[in-house]
Amino acid sequence: MLNCLMTEKRSSILTCEKYRQKQIKKNVMQVTMQHALKLFWRPKAIELEDDGVMSYEKVEIIRRNDGSIRFNNKMPYHVTLGYIGTNGITMLPQTQSLMVTPYSHADTQFKNVPSAFQVGYINDFGGLSFYEINCPTVNNSCNVSVAKRDK
């Protein structure tokens, strides 16, 4: 199985969900929880440096004509956005996140994103890395800087 995995980018190798089993007895209530697990294979060729911190500055962010945002992932890693918003208020619906596969792009489903906002990338350890985004013009790359943390 491992021979079929990519060697130059991280790949998803398993997505599994548990479904309700067939009812065996009558008058029995079953409670079933559904889980989706995603496991990623990171080849040795693209291992992170010793600190294990990914540099998200390589994700190009573009504000489009309709006000949506495009995230161009120029890295061999999956990038997960857990926060897009302003002043601590997220624009992502409910608890959703946005995943951008390696060397591809993803667009936000919502429109009219302001020209200045923040994004939070979920790192390998589950933490959020926040960045300040400023998009002064449409259809050009936005300015990205690491968000300053309040003390």
Q: Which pLDDT tens digit goes with each residue over 111-120? A: 888 889 999 9
* Reported pTM: 0.71
CATH code: domain of residue 112: 2.60.40.10
Give me the residue label for tokens 């009558």.
Answer: 26
pLDDT over 80 at 38, yes or no: no
pLDDT over 50 at 13, yes or no: no
On whether residue 151 sits in a domain, the answer given is no
Are 32 and 68 contained in the same domain? no
Taking the alpha carbons at both ends of the chain, their separation in whole angstroms is 48
Around 47, how many Cα atoms within 13 Å sit in the side-chain half-sphere? 5
DSSP code for 22: P
Q: Total structural domains in the chain?
A: 2
State the residue range of the domain holding 8: 2-46
Are 107 and 39 contained in the same domain? no
